Amino acid sequence: MSFGFMGIQFGFALQNANTSRIFSNLGANADDIPILWVAAPLTGLLVQPIIGYMSDRTWSPRWGRRRPFFLIGAILASLAMLIMPNSPSLMIAGGMLWIMDASINISMEPFRAFVGDKLPGEQHTTGFAMQSFFIGIGAVVASLLPTLLTSAGVANEAPAGIVPNSVKYAYYLGAAAFFLCVLYTVLTSDEYPPEDMEAFEREKKSVTLAQGVKETFTGVLHMPKVMKQLASVQFFTWFGLFCMWIFMTLAVAKHLYHTTDTSSKSFNEAGNFVGNAFAMYNGVSAAFSLLLPWIARKVSRRLTHMLCLAAGGLGLISVAFITEPWMLYVSMIGVGVAWTSILSVPYAMLAGAIPSHKMGHYMGVFNAFIVTPQVCASLGLPAIMKAFPQLDPLNVVVLGGVLMIIGGLLTLRVADDEKIRLPLADDVQPQNAAYDAGPQPNPAV
């Protein structure tokens, strides 16, 4: 059931490692790039709560609840990935990023709820860790694609205003992997139907479209305590990650390859190397995901998440002290450890604290605390860099590390108890108590 997430990560990994490079190839300067990135988090802020709400109220005997959204998103995202590297201008590239990210989110958000739907509470950490494993595998391959294609003889340089073929072909292969992996999950996995179908249909019919939209965007006002406590953790964590994703290519090109010329051979070599370094942290993440459930059982999920974020923060801070490109691989080990926990532990904490029949809705609302810091980074970092011209991309990467450590310390405030599930919200009460329990997973799954 998590195999499709490997395909989704082809889209996200190519986006994270190459979007700044594409924008730079098309003529953007360092101050422009964060603003161009803002499309991605804004899209998630709008799309994920809506898709989560809609998937909670969807059921087909053949296609289930979440799987229709997996497939629709995969089709749209794959098409957008074919177009993105062929954008003739910055404006079109920014628009394609918006479309691609919206499509990826249509597939991705229900995958989080999928694990919560199918597994009992004591298996949530393991389930999300397995999802992290497949994310890591997909991201490793996707991040390495430009380098592998360059080694195979595909051109890694292009005139100003054109994206190199190594990046274009990587996106083409990523689009195919995205669609096929998601299709595999859609065709080979099943879903548990609502426990009381009549109650499910009554609730669905009792909520109008206007009420649904209102509930979707006011869900933040009815959050469980755990979600509120995780909000600050997510803010600092994802602000730090965005600092890395936006500025790592520029920082590596300037300080390790000694160039700011975006059409030069050195700059494009730096872009490939950053992809390799991102493959490193995703590879570490895939391996560490096999250990994470055991560690969390031994020392608690809170302490595990704190230690993992601290490792990631120190990894980013260490980038300021490296003098050779290969040293970046060492820095990325800590980031990989953090990335495993970021993709699993907060969701495992949350899944045990929300009602099963609103799993998709609350997972979508929770993602507001992922995309809001990214919007803040996209809009705030350009202003900071203009106000302080002495800052350069490397300083922003280090700032990301500091913020990640702060997020780790805030984790210790989270009241994590997987045995407590949020009572039913008083906005819509199901007619049958059995409906609250939701589908009952097979403990042997």
pLDDT in tens, 63-121: 888 888 889 999 999 999 999 999 988 888 888 888 888 888 888 878 777 877 788 77
Instruction: Supply the pLDDT for residue 444.
Output: 38
Whether residue 433 is predicted with pLDDT greater than 50 in this model: the reply is no
Sign of the dihedral defined by the CA atoms of residues 158, 161, 162, 166, in that order: positive
Whether residue 174 is predicted with pLDDT greater than 90 in this model: the reply is yes
Instruction: Supply the pLDDT for residue 169.
Output: 95
Whether residue 372 is predicted with pLDDT greater than 80 in this model: the reply is yes
Highest mean pLDDT among 147-156, 403-412, 419-428: 403-412
Q: Mean of the per-residue pLDDT values for the chain?
A: 82
Instruction: Supply the pLDDT for residue 403.
Output: 96
Residues 6+ apart with CB under 8 A from 224: 350, 353, 354, 362, 422
**CATH classification of 3-190+213-422 is 2.60.40.1660, yes or no?**
no
Across residues 203-211, what is the average pLDDT? 62
pLDDT in tens, 144-154: 899 999 999 99
Highest mean pLDDT among 107-121, 202-216, 388-402: 388-402
Residues in the chain: 445
Whether residue 428 is predicted with pLDDT greater than 50 in this model: the reply is no
CB 296 within 8 A of CB 124: no
CB 360 within 8 A of CB 52: yes
Q: State pTM to two decimals.
A: 0.69
% the chain with pLDDT above 90: 30
